[in-house]
Amino acid sequence: MTPTMDQIAERYGLPDKGAVADLLDAGRGLPVAFYSAPEIYRLEQERIFAKSWSYACHESAVAKPGDYAVTRAGDTPIMVVHGRDGQLRAFVNVCKHRLHSIAEESGNKPLLQCPYHGWTYGLDGKLKTAPRSDREPNFDCSTISLDPVAVERWDQWVFVNPDVDAAPLHEVVAGIADNAKTINDDLRGYEFQVRYEYDMNCNWKLWAENAVECYHCPTLHSTSFGKTYKTSPDDYHVESDANTIWHKAPIEWLPSSVDPTGLQGFRFAFTFPSSFFALDDYVGFVGSVQPVGPEKCWAFVDMYARPGADPVVVKEWLDMWDRTLIEDKRATDVQQIGYNSGRVPSARLMLDSESPLQTFMRGVADALYA
């Protein structure tokens, strides 16, 4: 059984709930053990990822009956399935026989057959047949189903939550619903280009914290994002509530061939714990970062481009985003070394620029100490 946060705190000499809240109120970061302790990683899986909404896929991936998309929410493998009745459902992507995944890649099938021994489930998750089941006394297919998880659409995006009793997604993200709608309305017309994937040697929170602040943009991204957008504190707007974070920044640099009239700049929405989508006048993207281990995480970012946009600029922008995200990966990997050194007990935030980190860390602490 995973120890409670109080037990973990005692073991690692961490502050109690009130003291961590005081630390965060004072603009300090979470204690460094939060970024490496295996027990905290386990507890995050149970208290955060098993109870939160994670971005799963674009609606086009599950547009027709029989379409299914594989994804995960933390350690939970999940498949989103478009049923014969038109209903979107999501299940834990783990067979009830001996726990192989039902599917490792997205696709379309009339039935969901586990590739290991052939147990076959309907698109509603109910077991229909199991080879040699007639030789097993008391084996009743009708008593076996894949475990359902919650699924909800947010405009064209499909989100999943392993907790079927979780608060509805639209309530959780109400704080940025109006802002996000402006992104989603525009992104609906964009066309998918490429998926970028990044494997990090850092705790998932370091990557998420990097994603929700742009204090690092003028330095770390001086030739990528920081060149493309205005990132000074007076230009770069950030706001946050308990579950969501919103960024907006005007465009700074364009190829000389481009008329800047009417361009809207950069808009970014983040939903706790680790999903995000963003848009500028040429490309948009959606993705999430998922924990893989106490000091490992993986992020995917699906890139879209505005139809009719100058292909030279689109290519420039896609490259700029890849460079930006590689710079982020390098930085967060190096931060992990600092966090592991034990020589600095916690971060010291610059709250005028980094207030979304405080919001994010409070979300983590509240979930763990609950």
**Binding footprint of ligand FES on the chain (CB under 6 A):** 95, 97-98, 100, 114, 116-119
User: 119 with 127: CB under 8 angstroms?
Assistant: yes
Stretch binding Fe ion (CB under 5 A), from 45-53, 68-76, 116-124, 324-332: 324-332
Say how many residues touch Fe ion, by CB under 5 A. Answer: 1
Comparison of 95 and 249: residue with beta carbon closer to ligand FES: 95
Q: What is the nearest approach in angstroms of ligand FES to the Cβ of residue 119?
A: 4
DSSP state of 128: E
User: 288 with 274: CB under 8 angstroms?
Assistant: yes
Site string for Fe ion, 270-309 (x = CB under 5 A): ----------------------------------------
Residue 95 contacts which entry, Fe ion, ligand FES, none (Cβ below 5-8 A, type-dependent): ligand FES
Residue at token pair 């089941």: 133
Q: What is the nearest approach in angstroms of ligand FES to the Cβ of residue 102?
A: 7
Q: What is the nearest approach in angstroms of Fe ion to the Cβ of residue 260?
A: 23
Comparison of 99 and 344: residue with beta carbon closer to ligand FES: 99
Comparison of 281 and 328: residue with beta carbon closer to Fe ion: 328
Q: What is the nearest approach in angstroms of ligand FES to the Cβ of residue 290?
A: 23
Question: Which amino acid is it at 274?
Answer: S
Comparison of 328 and 354: residue with beta carbon closer to Fe ion: 328
Comparison of 218 and 363: residue with beta carbon closer to Fe ion: 218
Q: What is the nearest approach in angstroms of Fe ion to the Cβ of residue 286?
A: 17
Residue 69 contacts which entry, Fe ion, ligand FES, none (Cβ below 5-8 A, type-dependent): none
Residue 100 contacts which entry, ligand FES, Fe ion, none (Cβ below 5-8 A, type-dependent): ligand FES
328 scored as a contact of Fe ion (CB under 5 A) = yes
Comparison of 43 and 297: residue with beta carbon closer to Fe ion: 297
Q: 79 has which bridge partners?
A: 70, 91
Residue at token pair 């965060």: 24
Comparison of 147 and 366: residue with beta carbon closer to ligand FES: 147
Stretch binding Fe ion (CB under 5 A), from 40-48, 123-131, 159-167, 321-329: 321-329
Q: What is the nearest approach in angstroms of ligand FES to the Cβ of residue 98?
A: 4
Query: Which residue lies nearest Fe ion, judged by its C-beta?
Result: 328
Phi and psi based region of residue 225 (left: phi greater than 0; alpha: psi -120 to 50; beta: remaining): alpha
**Residue 205, both tokens:** 């929170």
Residue 366, burial from CB neighbour count under 10 angstroms (0-12, 13-18, 19+): middle
Q: What is the nearest approach in angstroms of ligand FES to the Cβ of residue 292?
A: 23
Residue 328 contacts which entry, ligand FES, Fe ion, none (Cβ below 5-8 A, type-dependent): Fe ion
Q: What is the nearest approach in angstroms of Fe ion to the Cβ of residue 113?
A: 42
Comparison of 209 and 328: residue with beta carbon closer to Fe ion: 328
Residue 128 contacts which entry, Fe ion, ligand FES, none (Cβ below 5-8 A, type-dependent): none
Comparison of 63 and 326: residue with beta carbon closer to Fe ion: 326
**Residue 121, both tokens:** 């489930």
Question: Which amino acid is it at 367?
Answer: A
Q: What is the nearest approach in angstroms of ligand FES to the Cβ of residue 130?
A: 7
Binding site for Fe ion (CB under 5 A): 328
